[in-house]
Amino acid sequence: MRIPARYAPILFGALLSAIMVALVSAFVISINQGIHPDFLQTWAKSCATTWPVAFLAVTFIAPWVRGLVAKLTVAAH
């Protein structure tokens, strides 16, 4: 199954935010609580509750960040 290219920005936001939420929440939970018997349950709950926020942020803020990067950088000659 292939997704039409017009959905690429949404797919990018979904995948990037899911990966980042999974990594960061696992790291933060392990630092603050350690690896404990309920770690996977705590981690899954953290991912499920924070992913929608991260998805919206990545999806809607990414174009602004790309524009800002374009203004702050100079093309090599």
Residue 11: the pLDDT is: 93
For residue 66, what are the domain limits?
9-72
Structural domain includes residue 47:
yes
pLDDT digit string (tens) for the chain, length 77 residues: 899 999 998 999 999 999 999 999 999 999 999 999 999 999 999 999 999 999 999 999 988 999 999 999 998 87
Number of domains in the chain: 1
| Distant-in-sequence, close-in-space partners of 69: CB < 8 Å, separation ≥ 6 | none
Region class of 34: left (phi > 0), else alpha (psi between -120 and 50), else beta: left
What DSSP string runs through the chain? ----GGGHHHHHHHHHHHHHHHHHHHHHHHHHH-S-TTHHHHHHHHHHHHHHHHHHHHHHHHHHHHHHHHHH-----
Structural domain includes residue 3:
no
